[in-house]
């Protein structure tokens, strides 16, 4: 059973890991179809190897959306209203077959003017099975307060 975290339940410094997911060839092909991004680096193993990679590289945004989905299904998850912004970095390649998970930390927080919602600054990392940080960045997430201040 998951624990819903309201604004009051998310102190600065709160940190947790999501479950993991294996990035599959199917994920890569479906993401290419959905996004229209059929760049050879993602679709052609030989081309990717010619550039010095160990094989096809999954789309960077695929890693972000998979970890965002894991965040939204985590055993501790936020009582979210909306995601307001992302700032994101791609540090290392993500390969089909990599098992990834998210590491989240509440880096900052503030109440909105109305007082019925708060804005959390989440620091997120996408880590592979070796513990390497493949991607990282921040997400501004609007969440509900437990006791709205009117």
Which residue, 16, 21, 28, 15, is CA-closest to 129?
Answer: 21
The token duo for 13 is 């410094």
3 state SS of 112: coil
3 state SS of 34: helix
104 CB neighbour count, 10 Å cutoff: 24
Q: Report how far apart, in Å, the C-alpha atoms of 47 and of each of 5, 12, 26, 55, 140 are.
A: 45, 44, 19, 8, 37
| Start-to-end Cα distance in the chain | 31
Please name each of the domains of the chain with its CATH number. Answer: 3-144 (3.10.129.10)
Residue-wise pLDDT for 90-139, tens only, equals 999 999 999 999 999 999 999 999 989 999 999 999 999 999 999 999 99
106 CB neighbour count, 10 Å cutoff: 20
Residue-wise pLDDT for 57-96, tens only, equals 999 999 999 999 999 998 889 999 999 999 999 999 999 9
Contacts of 33 (CB under 8 A, 6+ apart): none
């Amino acid at each position: 059973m998951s624990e819903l975290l309201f604004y009051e339940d998310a102190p600065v410094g709160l940190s947790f890991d999501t479950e993991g997911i294996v990035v599959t060839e199917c994920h890569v092909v479906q993401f290419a179809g959905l996004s229209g991004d059929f760049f050879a680096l993602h679709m052609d193993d030989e081309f990717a190897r010619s550039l010095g990679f160990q094989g096809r590289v999954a789309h960077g945004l695929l890693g972000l959306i998979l970890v965002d989905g894991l965040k939204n299904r985590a055993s501790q998850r936020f009582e979210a209203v909306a995601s307001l912004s992302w700032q994101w970095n791609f540090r290392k390649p993500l390969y089909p077959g990599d098992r990834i998970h998210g590491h989240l930390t509440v880096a900052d927080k503030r109440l909105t003017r109305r007082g019925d919602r708060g804005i959390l600054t989440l620091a997120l990392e996408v880590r592979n099975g070796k513990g390497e940080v493949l991607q990282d960045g921040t997400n501004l997430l609007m969440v509900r307060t437990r006791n709205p201040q009117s």
